[in-house]
């Protein structure tokens, strides 16, 4: 376990904090003010003046009273995701993101746990690891960020600093569409927890007491996964306009192909792209590609469609479940 208390002293106290930041080896962000740093000595001496019998002014100092500021133990945990994280059944290494903040006035180590069976959801994710955001970029980087091991690398945070923590989970293969799974991240000060005002004698920074603050020196928040099993169905239809009217399939007839992609389930499917080769013995009719009835250019430009010389290609991007996209184009029979 990291040693969160240091016996060395410095004239300002900041040298001690810097050492702790190095020991934690975790970048942190500044939060809100926590007040006077723990271990700070508050000293003052009173002076009295009086007139002597000979008319001179004399003074006398009182004894000096010194009080040492105790360490307040406070912590908060908050989900850093903008909403539920979409997942697929059987998916692994699915990431929930949290912000851990030391709201106390002294450096403190925090023990982390991530239970996934709190109830109130549809399935229990299987938590595989808790990971500390080592490089401080707010994004999970496999092989770079530090895997947390309870008691071995409890993160030490300076006062008013925050750390991003990731919880990685596997999703049960039997989870169904639209089901929700919840994971909590809990943090507790390693010095101790309890009712606000609980005191731990001599365990505060600088040798003072450690006093439990308003949060009880422990905190937690939940993050949620939502199963999305969106699937796409793809259909193609053709209509024919003959050169003499009617629907005869003869040389000179124009075939209009209609391609429809429909997404079902929940969530959305991303990066949907459609290609359709021009049939043999037919010729593509330039400028006939449409998407949702709107014309697309044949060139590889800013819009979603293009003619490659042998096929039409249309990028549909992200399509939400319960919606469809329709593409049309024309060829002429040689």
pLDDT tens figures, 85-95? 999 999 999 99
3-state secondary structure of 14: helix
- The answer to whether position 45 is within a domain reads no
Q: Is 316 within 8 Å of 325 (Cβ atoms)? A: yes
Question: CB neighbours of 267 closer than 8 A, spacing ≥ 6?
Answer: 86, 226, 228, 229, 230, 320, 321
Are 81 and 219 in the same domain?
yes
Q: Is 217 within 8 Å of 101 (Cβ atoms)? A: no
The two tokens of residue 263 are 């997404």
Q: Which helix (H) or strand (E) holds 313?
A: strand 311-320
d(CA 158, CA 20): 8
d(CA 207, CA 212): 16
Are 213 and 308 in the same domain?
no
3-state secondary structure of 22: helix
Are 108 and 245 in the same domain?
no
Query: Alpha-carbon torsion 292, 296, 301, 306, what sign?
Result: positive
**Domains identified in the chain, total number:** 2
Are 262 and 316 in the same domain?
yes
Are 239 and 123 in the same domain?
no
Is a pLDDT exceeding 70 seen at residue 25?
Answer: no
**Tell me, what CATH number does 187's domain have?**
2.60.40.10
Q: Is 298 within 8 Å of 289 (Cβ atoms)? A: yes
- The answer to whether position 43 is within a domain reads no
Per cent of the chain over pLDDT 90 is 77
Tally Cβ neighbours within 10 Å of residue 325: 19
Residue 309, beta-bridge partner list: none
What is the band of 218 on the pLDDT scale with cuts at 50, 70, 90?
A: very high
**Domain end marker among 195, 210, 227:** 227
Q: Which domain holds residue 321?
A: 231-333
**Domain end marker among 227, 246, 262:** 227
What is the band of 148 on the pLDDT scale with cuts at 50, 70, 90?
A: very high
- The answer to whether position 63 is within a domain reads no
Are 125 and 216 in the same domain?
yes
What is the band of 231 on the pLDDT scale with cuts at 50, 70, 90?
A: confident
- The answer to whether position 87 is within a domain reads yes
Per cent of the chain over pLDDT 70 is 90
Q: Which residues of 277-299 are buried (b: 16+ CB within 10 A; e: fewer)?
A: ebeeebebbeebbbbeeeebebe
For 257-315, the pLDDT digits (tens) are: 999 999 988 888 889 999 999 999 999 999 999 999 999 999 999 999 999 999 999 99
Are 211 and 256 in the same domain?
no
Is a pLDDT exceeding 60 seen at residue 13?
Answer: no
pLDDT at 269: 86
Are 79 and 222 in the same domain?
yes
**Domain end marker among 227, 255, 280:** 227
Higher pLDDT, 296 or 24: 296
d(CA 253, CA 330): 10
- The answer to whether position 288 is within a domain reads yes
- The answer to whether position 243 is within a domain reads yes
Q: Would you list the DSSP string of 140-196?
A: --TTTSEEP-TTTSPPEE-TTEEEEEEEEEEPPTTPPTT-EEEEEEEEEETT---ST
d(CA 82, CA 319): 20
pLDDT at 19: 35
Are 131 and 193 in the same domain?
yes
User: Mean pLDDT throughout 236-243?
Assistant: 95
User: Which of 104, 294, 296 is closest to 213 using CA atoms?
Assistant: 104
The two tokens of residue 123 are 């399935």
Mean pLDDT across the chain: 89
Are 122 and 251 in the same domain?
no
For 241-263, the pLDDT digits (tens) are: 999 999 999 999 999 999 999 99
59-73, 100-114, 139-153, 244-258, range with the lowest pLDDT: 59-73
pLDDT at 100: 98
User: Mean pLDDT throughout 129-150?
Assistant: 96
**Tell me, what CATH number does 296's domain have?**
2.60.40.1170
- The answer to whether position 7 is within a domain reads no
Are 262 and 222 in the same domain?
no
What is the band of 29 on the pLDDT scale with cuts at 50, 70, 90?
A: low
Are 213 and 266 in the same domain?
no
Is a pLDDT exceeding 80 seen at residue 70?
Answer: yes
pLDDT at 250: 94
């Amino acid at each position: 376990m990291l040693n969160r208390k240091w016996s060395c002293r410095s004239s300002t106290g900041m040298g001690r904090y810097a050492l702790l930041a190095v020991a934690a080896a975790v970048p942190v962000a500044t939060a809100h003010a926590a007040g006077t740093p723990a271990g700070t000595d508050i000293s003052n001496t009173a002076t009295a003046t009086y007139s002597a019998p000979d008319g001179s002014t004399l003074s006398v100092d009182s004894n000096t009273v010194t009080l040492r500021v105790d360490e307040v133990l406070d912590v908060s945990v908050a989900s850093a995701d903008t909403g539920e994280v979409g997942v697929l059944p059987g998916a692994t290494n699915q990431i929930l993101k949290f912000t851990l903040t030391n709201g106390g006035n002294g450096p403190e180590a925090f023990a982390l746990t991530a239970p996934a069976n709190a109830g109130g959801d549809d399935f229990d994710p299987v938590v595989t690891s808790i990971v500390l955001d080592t490089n401080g970029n707010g994004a999970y980087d496999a092989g770079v960020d530090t895997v947390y091991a309870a008691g071995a690398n409890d993160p030490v945070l300076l006062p008013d600093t925050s750390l991003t923590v990731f919880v990685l989970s596997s999703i049960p293969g039997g989870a169904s569409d639209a089901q929700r799974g919840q994971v909590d991240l809990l943090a507790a000060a390693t010095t101790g927890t309890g009712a606000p005002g609980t005191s731990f004698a001599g365990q505060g920074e600088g040798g003072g007491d450690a006093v439990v603050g308003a949060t009880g020196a422990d905190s937690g928040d939940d993050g949620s996964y939502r199963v999305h099993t969106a699937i796409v169905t793809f259909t193609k239809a053709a209509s024919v306009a003959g050169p003499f009217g009617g629907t005869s399939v003869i040389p000179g007839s124009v075939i209009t192909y209609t391609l429809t992609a429909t997404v079902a389930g929940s969530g959305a499917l991303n990066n949907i792209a459609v290609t359709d080769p021009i049939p043999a013995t037919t010729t593509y009719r330039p400028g006939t590609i449409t998407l949702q009835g709107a014309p697309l250019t044949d060139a590889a430009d800013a819009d979603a469609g293009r003619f490659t010389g042998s096929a039409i290609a249309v990028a549909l991007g992200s399509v939400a479940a319960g919606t469809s996209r329709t593409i049309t184009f024309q060829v002429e029979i040689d």
